[in-house]
Structure 1
Amino acid sequence: MGRPKAELVLTTEEKAELQRLARRRNVGVVVAERARIILECGKGLENIQVAERLGITNQTVGKWRKRFIDSRLDGLSDDFRSGRPRSVSDRDVEKIVDTTLHKDPKAATHWSSRMLAEQLGVSPTAVQRVWRAFGLQPHRTESFSLSKDPYFVEKVRDVVGLYMSPPDNALVLCVDEKSQMQALERSQPLLPMQPTHPDRRTATYSRNGTTSLFAALDIATGRVIGKTFRRHRASEFIRFLGEIDSAVPADLELHLVLDNYATHKTPEVKRWLLRHPRFHMHFTPTSSSWLNLVESFFSIVERRVTKRGNHQSVTALEKDIRVFLDDHNSDPRPFVWKKTADQILDSLKRYTAKVGALRAEKAKRGSKAK
């Protein structure tokens, strides 16, 4: 017959809470199962009957019945487990972070986990854990260039204003050229992708010429007016302006966002613009190509056409570019600019202040070392 089980009686509040725990998914599968065990036991069932209903062992039911009777709802939680003692102290963490940020290795440009571990007398795994916790990645580097354009603020407000509040009865086009697109042919056949293996290609190739893609991105619709030219001069740029002029209805004003490349400002271009007064040019600040949304489109072209392409001639490359443009324009997506000019300028202000403070701190540390 076995030993008699302690009587388990649920209060109204306990029953409601257990039902809530049994239904809730975000409390975890284990806690929900324990709640269901107690609810079944509260119906007056024996342990073996509850075990059969829930598909668990009799011992599991007995354990949580006893825990609930002893501690009620608090008994459904797991006991505290001390676990393994920490092998890295707070002082070690502080040394790892401080050394990574403020000191350079003796004979290298940046720290590796093994180098820093040897320097501080900790394990490489400990260094990696601390780096992950604090978001430190010494192996990575990013490039930047601050514009020295004296009219930087005015140009940022002008371009961003066009993106966020375009003029009525006008079209805003982001214009630029992706020059020197190479038709590369791999020296050996490609090995296609297989399960567990990506496609493989040789590192050697032959160059079969170059072309330039002139593109005008309509940010409102995502459609692109594109044309390839073998050369990249003011004459080709004027021909592309003619392509834009013929592609856009004559009743719309045209506002073009473009960079400060020399071919955009030649006397020939200026004379052409005088004959076509509906064209309005808006130049981005120097060293600020990120302000021109067509650069995002060029990155898509590079990923999908040229980076992994294999072209035996420039003609083949230009054909693939045209196919891509047609496919893109068949289902375009708008390019949405989200940051206001004030947000951009405030972010740049904070960044320059931070860089200035870091430089001052580094100079101060260097003078103390001397």
Structure 2
Amino acid sequence: MARVAVTLSCTAEVMTELERLSRSRSGEVRIAERARIVLACLQGKRNAEVASEIGVRPNTVGQWRRRFAARGIAGLRDEPRSGKPTKYGVELRDRILAQLEVPPPVGRASWDGGSLALALNVSDDAVWRVLRKEGIQLQRHRSWCVSTDP
């Protein structure tokens, strides 16, 4: 027995916002696609029709139809992902960035990942993860020697 699709309705403001989202070139593509799905559903089309028109599966159309009916435009956004929460957050990021402003330990010309990790009592990996995310490249250590050849 086939399931009956949820009937959608919305206000003029919500319709305007959906149209704006569906035409957005600067926003996320998946949000624009979801807005197009909901707009097609608001025209009274069946899930299979909308799916073939937009190029997605009918169950995808049903999912976004149900989410929009339950939560409105906010339902088109991604839900939080499952998984292990991050061990280090904004606090560690701020500590690392603040430590980079302090002069390095005695005997060092600049900070490196290991000395930052020691100073903050965290792992090297945590330090490098934050530095990569922030786009910070610490000065590479280069060895050199003076050539005595004539």
Q: Same fold (TM over 0.5)?
A: yes
Alignment pair present for 1:115 and 2:98: no
* Number of the residue aligned with 1:90: 91
1:211-244, Cα deviation, whole Å (9 max, x unpaired): xxxxxxxxxxxxxxxxxxxxxxxxxxxxxxxxxx
- Spell out the pairing of 1:8-47 with structure 2 (5 A cutoff): 8-47=8-47
Asked if the contact 2:110/2:139 (under 8 Å) is kept, the reply is yes
1:95-151, Cα deviation, whole Å (9 max, x unpaired): x44544334334432221123223432222433425874x866528xxxxxxxxxxx
Cα distance, 1:50 vs structure 2: 1.0
* Number of the residue aligned with 1:245: none
Asked if the contact 1:67/1:76 (under 8 Å) is kept, the reply is yes
Change (3 A) 1:51 1:132: closer
Change (3 A) 1:93 1:118: same
Task: Tell me how far apart the structure 2 counterparts of residues 125 and 68 of structure 1 sit (CA, whole Å).
Answer: 41
Q: Which moved more, 1:103-112 or 1:25-34?
A: 103-112
The residue type paired with residue 27 of structure 2 is: V
Change (3 A) 1:92 1:43: closer
- Spell out the pairing of 1:225-304 with structure 2 (5 A cutoff): none
Asked if the contact 2:64/2:76 (under 8 Å) is kept, the reply is yes
Task: Tell me how far apart the structure 2 counterparts of residues 92 and 28 of structure 1 sit (CA, whole Å).
Answer: 26
The residue type paired with residue 85 of structure 1 is: T
Q: Which residues of structure 2 form unaligned runs of 5+?
A: 141-150
Task: Tell me how far apart the structure 1 counterparts of residues 120 and 29 of structure 2 sit (CA, whole Å).
Answer: 43
Task: Tell me how far apart the structure 2 counterparts of residues 100 and 69 of structure 1 sit (CA, whole Å).
Answer: 49
Higher-Rg member (1/2) = 1
1:31-70, Cα deviation, whole Å (9 max, x unpaired): 1111111111112111111111111011110001111111
* Number of the residue aligned with 1:76: 76
TM-score scaled to structure 2, two decimals?
A: 0.72
Asked if the contact 2:131/2:137 (under 8 Å) is kept, the reply is no
Change (3 A) 1:88 1:124: farther
Cα distance, 1:90 vs structure 2: 2.3
* Number of the residue aligned with 1:180: none
1:161-216, Cα deviation, whole Å (9 max, x unpaired): xxxxxxxxxxxxxxxxxxxxxxxxxxxxxxxxxxxxxxxxxxxxxxxxxxxxxxxx
TM-score scaled to structure 1, two decimals?
A: 0.33
Change (3 A) 1:108 1:27: closer
Task: Tell me how far apart the structure 2 counterparts of residues 89 and 45 of structure 1 sit (CA, whole Å).
Answer: 45
* Number of the residue aligned with 1:233: none
Change (3 A) 1:32 1:102: closer
Cα distance, 1:18 vs structure 2: 1.6
